[in-house]
Amino acid sequence: MEQTRRADARYQIGAGKVEELARMVEETGAQKVIFDNQLRTLQTYNLAKATHVEVIDRFQLILEIFTQRATTTEAQLQIQLATLQNELKHAKEKVRLAKMKEQPGFMGLGAYEAEVYREAIKRQVQTILKKLAKIREKRVLHRERRTELGFLSISLAGYTSAGKSTLFNALTEETAQVAKSLFTTLSTTTRMVEFSKRKFLLTDTVGFIDRLPISLIEAFHSTLEETIYSDLIILVLDLSEPIETIQKKNSICNETISRLGASGIPTITALNKIDLLDEAETKAKLEILKDQIRNPILISAKRKTNLQALKQEILRILETYIQAQFSVPLTNKTMPFISWVHEKTDIKKEYFTNDSVQVVFEAAPEMVEQVRRKVEDLHGKFQTNPKIQ
């Protein structure tokens, strides 16, 4: 629903529009109304009263998205902090309104005194700030995550609507059947993909958003940061947008990645949605962009065009993937070790003799090193193979 007018003090939109909105909510069974404009507390209250459902604005919607996406404690705390700081701004007015009559989004506040409520929020803010300080003190790099399973990992980054999830689905589709048990350790946005007989972990990250409120930047960074650490980043750009927009989004993405300390990670830029352009347009845009972007590949995630070229580029860049082999004597420690190797690496061959087991596997260099140390502890023989071609 759209309306062009000076903002109404009570509802943001005009009284007639409010009625229309209330009808629409009723007819569609909507559970929530989202405004693109920033709403004042009084407007939120009045709209909830008129529609009987919770009314939120863009700021709160973004918070909700981040909340869904954040899995590390740090990211969750950053989001709670932003939520509480926002609540603090509106606390007085919210309590005052809730005392009149409670509406969706104002529940339970009527019992509070405004100052008591504000003090309670302030105490929570202090607790979170202390926890955050502690986490930063003993911060272990998120890099740990990438070797968790011993597979190389790839993350999809880019603005909202660039086509990350579409590409994520296109790339994971063919692999959906692989090793179901492994998925249990992964989050909903990380999946195993397999091409050229090699397995990778692919992660769909939280999308960049235009007009991101300043108070949400920290929350966005820590939510993105936890997923962007990987062996390779695929930056997805929507090539159907105007060239200035593409350039702006590309540089904002790269700056942010670099601010998070992830600029050393090799990057492929997937120029997506080429199905919406004719060949001449595509060529012209690529010509302008090619000096500003890293490893461009033209694709259409929706039509699954050129995904083969993208996969080849991934393989080319991830050539550090190491193949290695070892043999260890059979003792009571051998089988637990072998099942650990199964869990952590991509096993290519395995054969048992009377007194030993031999294994050929592939994994990221750090994991190969861990295996090597364990093999030595078990008095086995270890050898890395030349790079895979």
CA distances from 181 to 144, 169, 388 (A): 21, 19, 27
Sequential DSSP letters for 26-48 = HHHT-SEEEESSPPPHHHHHHHH
Kindly give, in sequence order, each residue whose CB lies less than 8 Å from that of residue 296, ignoring residues fewer than 6 positions away: 268, 269, 271, 286, 289, 290
Output the CA angle 369-372-378, nearest 5 degrees: 150
If one asks whether residue 302 binds ligand GTP (CB under 6 A), the answer comes out as yes
Smallest distance, Mg ion to C-beta of residue 308, A: 23
**Window 224 to 253, contacts with Mg ion (CB under 5 A):** none
Q: State how far the Cα of 7 lies from the Cα of 36, in Å rounded to an integer.
A: 13
3-state secondary structure of 133: helix
Choice from 105, 150, 163, 380 touching ligand GTP (CB under 6 A): 163
If one asks whether residue 160 binds ligand GTP (CB under 6 A), the answer comes out as yes
Sequential DSSP letters for 143-203 = HHHHHTTSSEEEEEE-BTTSSHHHHHHHHHHTTTTTTHHHHTTS-TTEEEEEETTEEEEEE
Smaller CB separation from Mg ion, 18 or 162: 162
- 125-164 footprint of Mg ion as x/- string (CB under 5 A): ---------------------------------------x
State the binding partner of 276 from Mg ion, ligand GTP, none, CB within 5 to 8 A by kind.
ligand GTP
If one asks whether residue 300 binds ligand GTP (CB under 6 A), the answer comes out as yes
If one asks whether residue 323 binds ligand GTP (CB under 6 A), the answer comes out as no
Q: Which of 387, 343, 302 is nearest to 192 (CA)?
A: 343
- Nearest residue to ligand GTP on Cβ basis: 207
Choice from 67, 72, 85, 165 touching Mg ion (CB under 5 A): 165
- Nearest residue to Mg ion on Cβ basis: 165
Q: Which stretch binds ligand GTP (CB under 6 A): 89-97, 107-115, 144-152, 160-168?
A: 160-168
Smaller CB separation from ligand GTP, 70 or 322: 70
State the binding partner of 272 from ligand GTP, Mg ion, none, CB within 5 to 8 A by kind.
ligand GTP
CA distances from 358 to 198, 330, 347, 367 (A): 20, 10, 11, 18
State the binding partner of 41 from ligand GTP, Mg ion, none, CB within 5 to 8 A by kind.
none
Choice from 60, 76, 103, 166 touching ligand GTP (CB under 6 A): 166
By residue count, the chain amounts to 389
Q: Which of 285, 315, 283, 309 is nearest to 297 (CA)?
A: 309
Q: Which residue in this structure is represented by tokens 């991101």?
A: 212
Smaller CB separation from Mg ion, 94 or 164: 164
Whether 153 and 230 have beta carbons less than 8 Å apart is answered as yes
If one asks whether residue 250 binds ligand GTP (CB under 6 A), the answer comes out as no
If one asks whether residue 165 binds ligand GTP (CB under 6 A), the answer comes out as yes
Give the footprint of ligand GTP on this chain (CB under 6 A). Answer: 158, 160-166, 207, 272-273, 275-276, 300-303
